[in-house]
Every structure is written in C-alpha cells, then in structure tokens.
Structure 1
Amino acid sequence: MHLDDAAARCAEGGFVWLGLFEPTPQELTQVRAKFGLHALAVEDAEGFHLRPKFEHYDSGHYLAILRTARYDDKREQIDTGEISVFLSDTFVITVRKGVASELHEARSRLERHPELARTGSASVLWAILDHTVDCYAPVVAALDTDIEQIEATVFSGVVAPTERIYFLRREASDFYRAVHPLLAVLASQLQPAKWPAELLPYFRDVYDHLVLVSEEVAAQRDALGTILEANIAVISVEQSKIALRQSATMEQLTIFASIFLPLSFVVGFFGQNFDWLVTHIQSFPIFAVFGIGGLILPTVLLFLWLRRRRKERSTEEAAARPLNSVRGVAGGLARQD
C-alpha cells in the first residue's frame, strides 16, 4: 500500500499496519508528515537504542522501542536488532533495524487470534511483544549449550580459550541489557486502565515469559564469571607445573655445573707449564696423587655437601608440616567463631 493511501485510510477511520525496514531519514520525515508523529518519537526511531523504552506523547501516540535477538549457530554469535512501534487508535507503524527484527510470525500470530485483533492497535503491540520474547528462548538455549561445553572443558582440568569465555560473557551481557530493561517497560503497561481487558491476560503471559528469560540470562552471566575464574585458576596451575619443570631442569644443570667447576679448576691448574710441575710429576703414583686425586677429592666433598643440604631441606619441610596443620585448624576455628 502506498503511503498516501495508508494515510487516507486512517483519515477515513480505518486501521493500518505499516511496516518499514531500515528507512532513510527522508522516508521517516514523510511518514511523520502523513501521520502526525511527534518529532522526538521520530528522532528516537532514527537512532539505535541499547535499552527498550515506552513513551506516551500528548498527541495520543505511543512509541515502544524493543530489542530483538537471534542466535547464529555458524558464527556462535547473537545478532541483535531493534523495533520501534508507533501506536495510535488508527494505525501501527513499525520501524525495523537489523536482520533479527522479522515480524512475519507476529502478523501470523495475530491472524490466528481474530478476537484479539478486534480490540484495536493494542493487539498488534501484544503480538510484537509476544513474538519478540518468544525469540529470546532459542538464544538462551544456544548460550546454555556453549556454556556447558566450556564448563566441561574447564572443570576437566583442561585450559579453555580465554578469548571465547570473554566473548560469550560479552554476548550474555549485551543480551541481558536487551532483556532486563524490558521488564520495567512491560510491567508499567499491566495496569487495567492501559489496555482493553481482553488483552491484559496476554500481556501478563508475555511478562511471565520475560521474567524467566531474564533470570536465565542473569544466571548465565554469573556462570560465565565463575567459569572465567576457574579457567584462570587452571592456567595458573599449568604455569606452576611449567615453572616446576623449569626449576627442576635448572637445578640439574646447576648440579652438573657445580661438579665440573672444581674439576675444571684442578685440570686448569695442573695444565700449567710451571717448572716444578714438569720436573716433579714424572711417575704414575705421583700423577695418581696429584692428578686423579685432585679430581676425586673435590667431587667427593661436593657430593657430601649436596647430601647434607638435602637432609637439611627434608628436616625443614617435615617441621613445617605440623605448623601448617595447626594454622589450618586455627583458621577454621576462627571462621567458626
């Protein structure tokens, strides 16, 4: 239907549902001129809002802004959109933005309830709200699946990609900002004087579904926060294991270096061409005493020193265990008090 024909039908007392998808500012200006929309309402419809809202203007028009969402399985990402609903007694104008703002199902839903359609434009608002909230449920289910996969990875002791956890938490937070503020908006519309009595039970039903979705999304955000902390703990454990392996390797290398250090000194000393060394070491017994003995003696002394240090370390660790146990018991008693 052409815009002029739609405006003429409203002027004759008929009812029109006009749908616009990502209109240009010029198109919105034409719609405003034909239907007498408030300038602030049109300005709100041109922008993109992070939070739903519901406004009533003195001209008798209403503006409802809703956030829509759908889950893309291939990209594992939530696509969001926005629907601005201009409402009056003779027309409903919907301005859709984003791929997640399809309203065909809302129209079909209203056609299946002709008794509600006879109540006027408020029935269109109900159909749009009901369809929008129902589309939240698949998003919640898809997020649950992703969270369960990450939980199984993290709590099995395997490090999960931290980037994916952050990404899911951001997606859940954005989804929560789209869902939770709608509770207050919808709750303000549940008063008996607001809408026809036949529609109030249907609005309450939408509100009940929205409460469940909001609670589930809030629980998902908390779960992702816990998973992130657990994943950081797993990363810390893995880093500690790597540090311990590196420390053990460095200890072994240090021991080897400590063994060869005195040997290198002895070999270097006796390798000097001093006259005394050249003229006095002329037999195997003397070579065995000064040469081989000079190598064995520091090796034995180093072995005895390392063995003593190991015993001292074992004694210190054994003495520290009872002290840590006492501190643990004392800490438990203090928490009980």
Structure 2
Amino acid sequence: MPADPVVDCAVYVDGVRDPHEFTYAEALDRVRETGEGWVWLGLHAPDNAQMTAVADVYGLHPLAVEDAVVAHQRPKLELYGHTMFMVMRTVAYVDHDSIASTADVVSTGEIMMFGGQDFVITVRHGDQTELASIRHTLEQRPKILALGPAVVLHAVVDHVVDTYLAVTDEIDTDIAELEQDVFGTGDVHIDPVYLLKREVIEFRRAATPLAIPLHRLAEPNPWLPDEVRNYLRDVNDHLTTVNERITDYDHLLSSMLDAAAAKIGIQQNTDMRKITAWAAILAAPTMIAGVYGMNFKNMPELEWHYGYFLALGLMATVCGLLWRNFRKHGWL
C-alpha cells in the first residue's frame, strides 16, 4: 500500500491547537459543525488517489489537484471560487568540498498550498524545505494563528524565500572560489563555471516567477487580512533582493565564461608557440642528418676524419642559436 501522505492534521481554535487527534475529514467536520476554528492539513508527495480523496472532502478544483500530484509546476497563484491554489519551488544548497568535485549545487522541490476560509492544505514534494518547524513556531504564537489560514500562507512563503537568501549566500562562496581559479595564475577549468551557471539558471527558474504571485497577494483582496498582506509585502522585498542577486550571478558567470575562454585561448596559443619552436629546433639537426645520410659517392666530407664531429657541432650550434632566439622572443 502507498505510504500515508498525511504528515500532520490539526484544528486551531482562537490560535490554539485542539489536543484531539483528527483525520482530515473529521477535522473539517468538527470546524464546520461548531463554526469555530480552521484546519491545517500537511501532506507529503500524495499520489493521485490520495489527493483525490482529500479533494472530495475539501471541495478542491480538479485542475489544482492534478497540479498538486504531478508537481514540476512553475510558481503561480490561481483562484477557484473561494479556494486559493499557490505553487512555490523550494531550493536547497547541496554541500560539497569544492565546485570542481560536485555534480549539483542546488536541488529543487515544490510546495503547493490550498487555502479556504476554514482550511489550509500544504502539499510538499521533495525534502528541500520541511514545514514541521514552521508549524511548531506558529503554535507558540496563538495570537498570530488566530488570524486564520492566511498566517500559514505567509509563514510558508516567508520560509521559502529565506531559504533562497541562504542559498545565495552559499553561492557567493562558490563564485569566489571560481574567480580565484579563472583569474588566478594556474590552469583554467571551465567545466565548473558551466556547472554553476546551469545551477544558477535552475535557481532563477524557481525564484523569479514567484514575484508575480507575491505581488498579487500583496494587493487588497477579501481573503487575506490587511496585517498578513503587510507582511507579504516585506517577503516580496526579500524576493526582489534574491532575484537581483541571481541576475548579478548570471552576468558575473557569463563574464567569467568569456574570461575563461580567453585565458584558455591564450594558453593554447602559448602551447602552440612552444610546440612550433621545438619543432623548428628539431628540424635543423634532422635536415643536417638527412643531408649527411644520403651517402652519395661524391661527398668528400664523408671520408673526412673529423666529419662526424663537425656534423654534431653544426647541429648543436644551430639548435643553440634557435633556442636562444625563441627564448628571447618569449616562445620558450
């Protein structure tokens, strides 16, 4: 049987968690029968049947349910009647000893949220951003929880954007490492630059599209309290900082790619000059040996007693003069 996707399900009345254990259906019945409180249901990677069962109880739109199961969605915000559906991409930094020794710098997952007047459902895919700590923190602040399900929306979005900021700090370190490699005196390895640029692009795909949903949430609307919207505007400012830093990283890595390619080209030209110089030096004795190796009869120096030593001396002299000339002009 598939694993139970329910991570936690609770009823909150006046910001305080009801101590009783509820199934997600019992929790919603309790809230609607008493007319008090709201439900927070947390799910992790539900399959289609499991998500459909939840949707039948909470009245979720089929299109949103499909997105919540399939995942791999762009960040977005959609309204289905009195129900809100939001998608966010989560990002986690992959620890590594050096940028040259890893295949990944960031890993991504997703969090979907369904929000209604008396419930909020969080659906998490991947292990990049856990939500248990958010629930625990909010439960220590009943006055905040008393504002309703919108508080959970702000808390989750704020947590996701904070992880973005943490990842940008880590990428700063990787970029500094690459700068030392590219602009240092050693050999250039261009593959790590391509790797980090690919990961920054993946990071940008997760963070940049979230700006539009956050902007919509910060606008006046009937299903978010004004106090929560004020906090969401602050989160939007943090996201703007993240997106600006990602853009800077992208431009910097493009410049590093150009610089690395130029440096590799210079290294190749230097290597070719050295190869050409040594080929020219070796060609001189080869030519002399070729002449003396023709063994024609009318070559009087072949019978000369000192001919061998003269040939060796001539080879050494020509090679020495060529080496000195190439050295003087920086070819060797």
The question of a shared fold, defined as TM-score above 0.5 by the shorter chain, is answered with: yes
Are 2:44 and 1:21 aligned?
yes
The equivalent residue for 2:173 is 145
TM-score, length-scaled by structure 1: 0.78
The equivalent residue for 2:262 is 233
The match for 1:201 among 230, 237, 241 is 230
Cα distance, 1:73 vs structure 2: 1.0
Are 2:203 and 1:175 aligned?
yes
**Contact 1:16/1:90 (8 A) holds in 2:** yes
Query: How far apart, in 2, do the equivalents of 1:4 and 1:111 lie?
Result: 22
Tell me the SS of whatever aligns to 2:274.
Answer: helix
**Contact 1:62/1:88 (8 A) holds in 2:** yes
Q: Report 1 or 2 for greater relative contact order, CA contacts < 8 Å, sequence distance ≥ 6.
A: 2
Query: How far apart, in 2, do the equivalents of 1:50 and 1:8 lie?
Result: 31
Cα distance, 1:234 vs structure 2: 1.8
TM-score, length-scaled by structure 2: 0.79
Q: Which amino acid aligns with 2:23?
A: H
Query: How far apart, in 1, do the equivalents of 2:137 and 2:226 lie?
Result: 19
The match for 2:242 among 201, 213, 220 is 213
The equivalent residue for 1:72 is 94
Tell me the SS of whatever aligns to 2:72.
Answer: coil
Query: How far apart, in 2, do the equivalents of 1:190 and 1:4 lie?
Result: 31
**Contact 1:66/1:182 (8 A) holds in 2:** yes
Runs of 5+ consecutive residues of structure 2 not aligned to the other structure? 1-21, 97-101
Higher helix share: 1
The equivalent residue for 1:277 is none
Q: Which amino acid aligns with 1:124?
A: V
Q: Which amino acid aligns with 1:186?
A: L
Query: How far apart, in 2, do the equivalents of 1:207 and 1:25 lie?
Result: 32
Query: How far apart, in 1, do the equivalents of 2:122 and 2:54 lie?
Result: 11
Gap change, CA 1:50 and 1:163, over 3 Å in 2: farther
Query: How far apart, in 1, do the equivalents of 2:211 and 2:274 lie?
Result: 54
Q: Counterparts of 1:1-337 in structure 2 under 5 Å? A: 1-12=22-33, 13=35, 14-58=37-81, 60-74=82-96, 77-194=105-222, 195-265=224-294, 267-270=295-298, 291-292=303-304
Q: Which amino acid aligns with 2:30?
A: R
Describe the superposition over 1:202-225 as per-residue Cα deviations: whole angstroms up to 9, x where unpaired. Answer: 111101111101111111111111
* Alignment RMSD: 2.8
The more displaced of 107-116 and 22-31 is 107-116
Tell me the SS of whatever aligns to 1:128.
Answer: helix
Runs of 5+ consecutive residues of structure 1 not aligned to the other structure? 272-286, 318-337
Query: How far apart, in 2, do the equivalents of 1:222 and 1:108 lie?
Result: 40
Describe the superposition over 1:188-239 as per-residue Cα deviations: whole angstroms up to 9, x where unpaired. Answer: 1111235211112211110111110111111111111111221122211221
Gap change, CA 1:50 and 1:268, over 3 Å in 2: farther
Query: How far apart, in 2, do the equivalents of 1:16 and 1:98 lie?
Result: 23
Describe the superposition over 1:286-310 as per-residue Cα deviations: whole angstroms up to 9, x where unpaired. Answer: x67x8449969x98xx99xx9xxx9
Percent identity between the two aligned chains: 35
The more displaced of 108-117 and 13-22 is 108-117
